[in-house]
Amino acid sequence: MSESYNIFVDIMSEQTAASRANERIGFEEAFALHHRTVFRVARSVVSDPGIAEDVSQEAFIRLFKHLDSLANDEMVKPWLIRVTINLARNAIRGTMRANTREDNYVKEYGLQERSSVELDFEESAGVNDIYRALAQVKEPLRSCLVLKQQGLSYKEIAASLDLNVASIGTFVARARQEFAKHYTGQTR
């Protein structure tokens, strides 16, 4: 009887492990785990917290629609980061077009833009210098640096950016050098 009991326990534990492996991460859990990272990635690309929040929301809407199509739970974070980067780049393109239209309007009608209190504070705090220096770092180095600063592993960065894992360390080191060169050049 002891032998059949052990076999029964082994079968039950294998079935339990198999059912746990088949359980998928839920949307709420994915949101709770990855919202902060997604927002930081979006903010690092668009440099505006309002637009970054919009980009984050759009990324999670897309996750909600595509969660079942992801191969496994380990790919949720890299997938989210990739989608966020693409959405943020699209937002920048749209903002650049809107800014061009506004600039043309200002040139044509002689209007002057007023800076907000928030922009004045960020400029005085040197945040804009950081974003300017970061903007001068070329892709994919900039994305590698930002994602590394967010705490992602080289494997996650490689999956997010469709790069070779072996080259990520070199990209991060080069990005740090370029950022330091551009940042110290601005602050002098």
* Alpha carbons 152 and 42: distance in angstroms, whole number: 15
How many residues are listed for the chain in this entry?
188
Q: How confident is the model at residue 19 (pLDDT cuts 50, 70, 90)?
A: very low
pLDDT single digits (tens) 133-186: 888 888 888 888 888 888 888 998 888 888 899 999 999 999 999 999 988 876
Question: How many other CB atoms sit within 10 Å of the CB of residue 151?
Answer: 10
Quick check: 41 and 52 in contact, CB under 8 A? no
pTM of the prediction? 0.49
In the chain, the domains with their CATH numbers are 26-113 (1.10.1740.10), 114-188 (1.10.10.10)
Own/partner pairs for 68-77, CB < 8 Å, 24+ apart?
A: 68/24, 73/24, 73/25, 75/159, 76/25, 76/30, 76/34, 77/33, 77/34, 77/37, 77/152, 77/156, 77/160
Confidence of residue 5 (pLDDT cuts 50, 70, 90): low
- The model's pLDDT over 68-116, given as tens digits with 9 standing for 90+, comes to 887 777 888 889 999 999 999 888 887 677 667 666 666 666 544 555 6
